[in-house]
Chains A and B, each alone.
Chain A
Amino acid sequence: MNKIVLAFTTLLISIITVNQLQADPSGDQPPYRIILNTEASESERWAAVELQYWLFRISGNYLPIQSYQAGYTGPGIVLGYTEEVKEKAGVPMPAFDDESFHYFSDSGNVFIYGGKERGTMYAVFTFLENEFGCRWYTPLVTVVPQKQQLVFGAYNYKSAPGIRVRNDFYYEAFDPVWSARNKMNGRMDFVKQPGGVEAFWRVHTFYPLVPPAEFYEKHPEYYSLINGKRVYEVMKGKRHELAQLCLSNKNVLKILTDRLRKHMRDQPDYRIYDVSQNDYYNPCECDKCQAIVKREGGESGLMIWFVNQVAAAVEKEFPDKYIGTLAYQYTRTPPSNIRPRHNVVVRLCPIEACVAHDLKSCEHNKSFLDDLENWAAISPQLYIWDYVVNFAHYIMPYPNFSVLQSNIKTFRDNKAIGIMEQAAYQSRGGEFAELKAYLIAKLLWNPECDTRVVVEDFINGYYGRGGRFVLEYFDLTQALVTPDTHMKIGLQPNDKMFTDDYVQKSMALFSEALKVADNETIEDRLLLTALPILYLKCMRNPVEARTDGTYAKTLAVIKKQGITHVAEYGQSMDRFRKLVEEAK
């Protein structure tokens, strides 16, 4: 958060003072200015102060920001599309929401432009990354080389997003400034962020939109018919389960459409509004519903038939919005007849997938891949809710790095306009959280990027001299995966992939890394990264971990780093402590 304060402070200063340019020490470099179009968007203005700030951090040279039409003739870094760009690059003005960008140098000037919404802004950060070696690894850790002199070279670089909506669902990735700098634009909940976000409004919205508390008493027919009875909840053993809506009921369609429309008017900042089933089975068994199910070839047919009508009803008033729904559990298999409308987005969730191997190569994933390909064949676009951590043990080794890129490519090739990578979202401290959050950002922007380069860049930049041991640990951990290893989102510490030998080797690597840690800050990063191994040892050999100091060390790291969740389950920390402390 410090960074934001700094950045905005700089904005004020830059507007007030124009003539503070430091004399170039060599005297042979003309002083540059950052030149901004008068019609620059808010994100372009923000990008200008960011550029000014980081160039100052790099070189100690202060480049004033000034308006394009102020008559300045010296060299400049020109932000945003201008007449000059049109002339030199020979391209028409990019659309407002075009996120692709281009930067190039010409006659001593640097031109950086893209769509006004976020394109130019992304260009500025990419320029700083590619040409000046800047990295925004985490919200707290930025690595900026220091140069004696600011020298601009010859550039000509273009980039375009590989995935339109990029939602990196890590706790570390929720920082809006970090997100903007790393080209993440997707959100579940609307957040103010430089350049704005493409937000997906909620999930499992049947009851939030048509609450049983409000309607059931007078209109039980709005809810599922189960075993001949209209119900809004069902007892399965000792557990309450929610039912669903009766989608063939005309009033349900009307109420839900009205409520959603009102919601869209009240909160117009989202891109996609959800109309989807509760997080249970129990669909309606009434004759009318089942006739549609039969006609359309599956429960998903009834769902799409219903959601299509909602989408058609709101389209005129909201032509640039989408209605989202789920293909999940009982609706996961696509219908045989009906097709989702052009403004409907079906969201698929590979929650049962094996993440030891990618979707394409593992037999465990064949059924999901079939559904995905079938949905892609009949849909204008899809949205993916993917899972990239172990939700049962956030801070345990989870070697899924090798599937991230391949799966993102599979989603892209199957018409995904958006991907949400759900991770450890409740607290920092998940296994390789900083690295994975960063890598996911890079992959969502460019699914073709070289993963190994990103991983090595991060590890060497973030861990300093200890980096090469972390890379060794990284490789050791990823090598736990063999063709017959299958790993799901609830991997357990007693899984056969883990061995005491692996734990010992990893501990030894961290002990080497800690010896060469450049300073206490990097030592802390290393300890945080070693936490999964400490945790794994506590879970596998709790008595030994308690007596040899591993457990105490684990708690010390957790405390120092302010980690609140060791799993998605809310009471996970207490559960962990109890398990280790009471083990005999």
Chain B
Amino acid sequence: MTTSRKDFIKLAGLGLGGLIMPVSSILADPAIAIKKAKAQGKKVSSYGIVLNSDSSESEKWAATELQHWLYKISKEYVPIYNAYNAYAGPKIAIGYNDEVKAKKGVAAPAFDDESYHYFTADGNVYIYGGKERGTMYGVFSFLENEFGCRWYTPQVSLIPEKPSLSFQACDHREQPGIQVRNNFYFEAFDATWAARNKMNGRMFLWDPKNTPNDGIFYKKQPGGEETYWSVHTFYPLMPPEEFFAKHPEYYSLINGKRVHEVIKGDRKQLAQLCLSNKDVLKIITQRIRENIRKYPEFLIYDVSQNDYYNPCECDKCQAIVKKEGGHESGLMIWFVNQVAEAIEKEFPDKYIGTLAYQYTRSAPKTVRPRHNVVVRLCPIEACVAHPLHECPENKSFMDDLKAWSAISPHLYIWDYVVNFARYLMPYPNFYVLQPNIKTFRDNKAIGIMEQANHQSRGGELEELKCYTIARLLWNPECDMEEVVNDFIYGYYGRAGRYIREYFDLVHSLVKPDTHMYIRFDANDKMFSDTFVDQSFAIFEKAYKVADNNEILSRVELTATSIMYLKCRRQPVAARNDGTYQKLIRIVEKEGVTHFAEYRETKETFKKFVEAAQ
């Protein structure tokens, strides 16, 4: 995995700031609210937003959002009523009620059913779905589809202004394509943005040095989240400093010696646990159980190997591996299955997650993951110039994915969508996003995490990719060209068509023999100085027609990709022609703090360019 723990702690703390308060406290008596609105000179609509007496928190929040955005659209204040029969005039009914039942003859959706339906009948609008998030998603889709609203980024919402409020006939249903949708971009961590864009997945790490407490580790999002607790948990669960001195047999036997770490060249590596040891199973199970009791909000709790090789070589472990056709994954699943079985009775709706990663990536021969075990696969070695199912470079991962999906009740995917060594550099992988998400879905993925630039804003086409991923995770069948154009023309205004030109240019770099991985550099053969020059020329045009300073800033932030590439390829030229200075000015103004996941920092980059001769 490529995510450092420290950063997780930091990002988990973002966006808290008292943003989400209990909605029940916002909803006032409608008569008083109307009086207040009138006193503020607001026009009060003939429509009313009606809730049910037992509406969920997310339904109530959705009602206030609907009121807020309808006001932005039309400058008409639509009062909120707490029961669907409390208002006699035309209404927008939020949530399933008897009228929906009478008109559509459908039963109440399950609480956690995220699908939704909205329609018009007898001059009213009805929006309903499952109480947990379905109705809330229905409200946002209604505003998107029927009123052209967009929540492109946490900072940029686009809301058309209409001379008055009127509702067209509509009847629309949707359901999620992926159950757990984790958009792992920095900007997607904003809880409100995520709720508005139907993202429900989260992952949090546990660092024993920072004992979890609710304030930091669990960020409430409207409608709640489907969270995945941690990764690489062997040592967090069984710290060597606690056990190794007394029980070296709990850890890997390597070259005949029990060790908890290994020196490879000049680098220290962690070892793993001895999974055939009964006490190890006992301790892990006990700690996991305690953890679930203490932090019951998560959906999946991780039991997985450290982010290194070095599995245990003892005879007992290797006998199990041998039985499983020489696959270390067999030992792992055998172990994790036992943990999962042990906690099932107490926590029937939770999963135990583990990894099929590096030495455990190939599926075992005989053992099968239990129904409450989720195996997480990571195409970390994949070529992202071409879709998984098309590129010969990806055949081995595809084989593993299919083999796992054939023997597993469900899978979880930890996918990678940016260049982690060069966040800012052009990375034309848009055309693999959709086919890969479909491939995951077709191979039993109940959740997909798209790991991206998670440490700061900025990054190549970041806002667009983040938004597109949200669209694709909700509906893997959506028209991606439509999404991309909608975003580009909405977000960049008049400059949009040049951004589209750049988007097409950068994607034209991908040829059948181009292969692109999660780390590659500016001297890759796909780039050329001509490409750099052409891109600069396009951005020059875009700056000129940028509608205003705000849009100019968006265009400039997007252009940092090409500035960065030039700085990396021709540092002296970039320093002399002002490209470098402009890049630094923009990243500082925009708060782009990270240029790579690790190793390169803004400072090392500056040093590189400034020292180039």
Residues of chain A touching chain B, judged by Cβ–Cβ distance below 8 Å, are 130-133, 143, 145-148, 456-457, 460-461, 464-465, 467-468, 515-520, 523
Identify which of A131, A133, A148 contacts B549 (C-beta below 8 A). A148
Q: Are A465 and B162 in contact (CB under 8 A)?
A: no
Q: How far is the CA of A515 from the CA of B149 in the complex (A)?
A: 9
- Distance (whole angstroms) from the CB of A146 to the closest CB of chain B: 4
User: Which B residue sits closest to A513, measured CB to CB?
Assistant: B148
Given A133-B544, A515-B147, A145 and B163 touching (CB < 8 A)?
no
Residues of A within 8 A of B365 (CB): none
Closest to A146 in B: B548
Contact status of A460 and B489, CB under 8 A, knowing A465-B148, A517-B148, A519-B161: yes
B546 at the interface (CB under 8 A from A): yes
Name the residue on A nearest B545 (C-beta).
A133
B162 proximity list for chain A (CB < 8 A) = 517, 520, 523
A456 CA to B496 CA, complexed, in Å? 11
List residues of chain A with CB within 8 A of the CB of B99.
none
Residue among B146, B485, B486, B547 making CB contact with A145, cutoff 8 Å: B547
Say whether B435 faces chain A, with CB atoms less than 8 Å apart.
no
Least distance between B14 CB and chain A CB atoms (Å): 29
Q: Is the CB of A518 within 8 A of B161?
A: yes
* A460 adjacent to B497 (CB under 8 Å): yes
Are the CB atoms of A143 and B161 closer together than 8 Å? no
Q: Which residues of B contact A133 (CB under 8 A)?
A: 494, 544-546
CB pairs A–B below 8 angstroms (13 shown): A133-B494, A133-B544, A145-B494, A145-B552, A148-B549, A457-B497, A460-B489, A465-B489, A467-B489, A515-B148, A516-B490, A519-B161, A520-B161
Known A148-B552, A520-B161; 5 more pairs at CB < 8 Å: A146-B548, A460-B494, A468-B486, A515-B148, A516-B490
Q: How far is the CB of B241 from chain A (nearest CB, A)?
A: 55
| B-side contacts of A131, CB under 8 Å | 544
Contact A517 B160 (CB under 8 A): yes
Q: Which secondary structure characterizes the binding site on chain A?
A: helix
- The answer to whether B478 has its CB under 8 Å from any CB of chain A is no
Bound Cα distance A523, B164 (Å): 12
Using A147-B552, A465-B158 as known contacts, say yes or no to A520 and B546 having CB atoms under 8 A apart. no
Residue of B147, B160, B486 contacting most chain A CB atoms (<10 Å): B160
Interface of chain B residues 484 through 540 with chain A (CB within 8 A) = 485-486, 489-490, 493-494, 496-497
How many Å lie between the Cα of A467 and that of B494 in the bound state? Answer: 10
**Contact in complex: B545, A461 (CB < 8 Å):** yes
Indicate with 1 or 0, residue by residue over B151-171, a CB within 8 angstroms of chain A CB atoms. 000000010111100000000
Distance (Å) between the CB of B92 and the closest chain A CB?
A: 17
Query: Whole-angstrom distance between the alpha carbons of A467 and B495 in the complex?
Result: 12
Give the complex CA separation of A132 and B547 in angstroms.
Answer: 10
CB distance from A221 to the nearest CB of B (A): 66
- Determine whether the beta carbon of A461 is less than 8 Å from that of B494: yes
Provide the residues of chain A in CB contact with B494, threshold 8 Å: 133, 143, 145, 460-461
- Give A332 Cβ to nearest chain B Cβ, in Å: 43
Residue of B nearest to A462 (CB): B494
Shortest Cβ distance from B503 into chain A, in angstroms?
14
Output the residue of A456, A464, A519, A523 with the most chain B CB within 10 A: A464
User: Bound complex: CA of A523 vs CA of B547, how far in Å?
Assistant: 19
The residue in chain B whose Cβ has the minimal distance to the Cβ of A129 is: B544
- Binary interface encoding of chain B residues 290-316 relative to chain A, with 1 for a CB under 8 A from any of its CBs, else 0: 000000000000000000000000000
Q: Which residues of B contact A515 (CB under 8 A)?
A: 145-148, 160
Q: Which 8 A-B pairs have the closest CB atoms?
A: A516-B148, A133-B545, A133-B544, A515-B148, A519-B161, A146-B548, A148-B549, A520-B163
Q: How far is the CA of A384 from the CA of B162 in the complex (A)?
A: 45
Distance to closest chain A CB from B226 (angstroms):
31
Give the complex CA separation of A457 and B545 in angstroms. 10
Contacts of B496 in A (CB 8 A): 460
> Do A456 and B497 form a contact, CB below 8 Å, given A465-B158, A517-B160, A518-B160?
yes
List, in ascending order, chain B residues with CB within 8 A of A460's CB.
Answer: 489, 494, 496-497
Give the nearest-CB partner of B485 in chain A.
Answer: A468
Chain A positions within 8 Å of B544 at CB level:
130-133, 145
Name the residue among B485, B497, B546, B549 with the largest chain A CB count within 10 angstroms. Answer: B497
With both chains docked as a complex, state the minimum distance between the C-beta of B565 and any C-beta of chain A, in angstroms. Answer: 22
State how many angstroms separate the Cβ of A546 from the closest Cβ of chain B: 19
Which residues on the B side are within 8 Å of A516 (C-beta)?
Answer: 148, 160, 486, 490
Give the residue name and chain of the A residue nearest to B540 (CB). A153
Task: Give CA–CA (A467, B544) in the complex, Å.
Answer: 19
**Chain B's nearest CB lies how many Å from the CB of A300?**
48
Per-residue contact bits, chain B 368-399, to A (CB 8 Å; 1 contact, 0 not): 00000000000000000000000000000000
Most buried by A among B145, B148, B490: B148
Q: How far is the CB of A24 from chain B (nearest CB, A)?
A: 15
Known contacts A133-B494, A515-B148, A145 near B545 by CB under 8 Å = yes
Shortest C-beta distance, B424 to chain A (Å), equals 24
Q: How far is the CA of A460 from the CA of B541 in the complex (A)?
A: 14
Nearest-Cβ distance from residue B151 to partner chain A, whole angstroms: 14
Rounded to whole angstroms, the CA-CA distance of A481 and B193 in the bound complex is 45
Question: Are the CB atoms of A146 and B547 closer together than 8 Å?
Answer: yes
CB neighbors of A among B120-163 (8 A): 145-148, 158, 160-163
Chain A nearest CB, measured from B570 CB (Å): 20
Compute how far the CA of A132 lies from the CA of B163 in the bound complex, rounded to whole angstroms: 32
Distance between B160 CB and nearest chain A CB, rounded to angstroms: 6
Q: Smallest distance from the beta carbon of A25 to chain B beta carbons, Å? A: 12
Cβ distance B262 to chain A, nearest Cβ, rounded Å: 56
B490 pairs with A465, CB closer than 8 A: yes
Across the two chains, which residue of chain A brings its CB closest to B489?
Answer: A468
Residues of B contacting A468 with CB < 8 Å? 485-486, 489
Collect the chain A residues with CB atoms within 8 Å of residue B497's CB. Answer: 456-457, 460
A437-B428 Cα distance, complex, nearest whole Å: 39
- Expressed in whole angstroms, the Cα–Cα distance for A464 and B147 within the complex equals 15
B147, B160, B485, B486: the one contacting A519 at CB < 8 Å is B160
CA distance A145 to B548 in the complex (A): 5
Contact with A along B215-252 (1 / 0, CB 8 A): 00000000000000000000000000000000000000
Residues of A within 8 A of B547 (CB): 145-146
Question: Which residues of B are found within 8 Å of A519, using beta-carbon distances?
Answer: 160-161
Contact A146/B549 with A456-B497, A519-B160 known, Cβ cut-off 8 Å: yes
Smallest CB separation, B69 vs chain A (Å): 14
In the assembled complex, the CB of A172 is this many whole angstroms from the nearest CB of chain B, namely 21
A468 to B545 alpha-carbon distance, docked (Å)? 17
- Chain A residues with Cβ under 8 A from B486's Cβ? 468, 516
The distance in angstroms between the C-alpha atoms of A45 and B423, with both chains bound, is 51
Write out the residue numbers on chain A whose beta carbons fall within 8 Å of the beta carbon of B147: 515
Closest to A459 in B: B497
Contacts of A465 in B (CB 8 A): 148, 158, 160, 489-490
A18 → chain B, closest Cβ, in Å?
Answer: 28
Which residues on the B side are within 8 Å of A518 (C-beta)?
160-161
A148 to B497: give the CA distance in the assembly, Å.
22
**Chain B CB within 10 Å, residue with most, of A143, A145, A456:** A145
Cβ–Cβ < 8 Å partners of B145 in chain A: 515
Q: Interface readout for B457-495 with A: 1 if CB under 8 Å, 0 if not? A: 000000000000000000000000000011001100110
What is the minimal beta-carbon distance from B154 to any residue of chain A, in angstroms? 20
Q: Which residues of A contact B552 (CB under 8 A)?
A: 145, 147-148
- Chain B contacts of A520 at CB under 8 A? 161-163
Q: State the CA gap A146–B549 with chains docked (Å).
A: 6
Whose C-beta in chain A lies nearest to the C-beta of B549? A148
Instruction: Provide the residues of chain B in CB contact with A145, threshold 8 Å.
Output: 494, 544-548, 552
Chain B residues numbered 155-212 whose CB sits less than 8 Å from any CB in chain A: 158, 160-163
Q: How far is the CB of A582 from chain B (nearest CB, A)?
A: 29
CA distance A145 to B495 in the complex (A): 10
What residues on A are CB-neighbors of B158 within 8 Å?
A: 465
Nearest-CB residue, chain A, relative to B147: A515
- Give B387-416 as 1s and 0s: 1 = Cβ < 8 Å from A's Cβ atoms: 000000000000000000000000000000
The residue in chain B whose Cβ has the minimal distance to the Cβ of A512 is: B148
CB distance from A476 to the nearest CB of B (A): 16
